[in-house]
Amino acid sequence: MAMDRSSASVAAERGGLMIRLFLPISPQPKLRPRLGRNGAYTPQKTKQYESAVAMMLRAQYKQEPILGAIRAKFVFYMGQPKKKVREHHTVRPDLDNLIKAVKDAANGILWKDDSQIVALMARKLYDWTDKRVGIDIELERIG
């Protein structure tokens, strides 16, 4: 999906709302909660990453959060490995943890709550060009 890196694309397609964004940030997974003396807490690294993602989303998406059912597509462009040993990104971080971090960061910005996502497609790919490390997000309101 080729698009301007600095702005969101919002259009009505096939009767539904379509939103496309690119976040120029190195994808990071949502880390597991840690246990401390006062109970469970979110690791600082996850908080900082989700805050940075939320800031980028707010800068690009100026509308109200989407209401209703959503179909979502995420493509995570990972940095190149030190040597090309595999075609597919089959190493950590896990795809589901990459998704969780972005979904949680987008709550209240792109949608009211990530429970609105009823269909999901996601991929993680190596960025062999060194020009597109980041996250493509495509959303379609379907209900």
Please give the Cα distance from 30 to 90 (Å, whole number): 18
- Contact call for residues 52 and 25 (beta carbons, < 8 A): yes
Q: Which of 4-18, 54-68, 83-97 has the highest mean pLDDT?
A: 54-68
- Domain 9-141 CATH (choose: 3.90.180.10, 3.10.28.10, 3.30.360.10, 3.30.1330.70): 3.30.1330.70
CA distance 143 to 139: 12
Residue 19 has pLDDT above 70, yes or no: yes
Average the pLDDT over each of 27-41, 44-58, 68-82 and give the range with the smallest value: 27-41
- Give the pLDDT score at 128: 75
Residue 7: its pLDDT value, please?
54
- SS3 readout for the chain: CCCCCCCCEEEEECCEEEEEEEECCCCCCCCCCEEECCEEECCHHHHHHHHHHHHHHHHHCCCCCECCCEEEEEEEEECCCCCCCCCCCCCCCCHHHHHHHHHHHHECCCECCHHHEEEEEEEEEECCCCCCCEEEEEEEECC
What predicted TM-score, i.e. pTM, was given to this entire model? Answer: 0.86
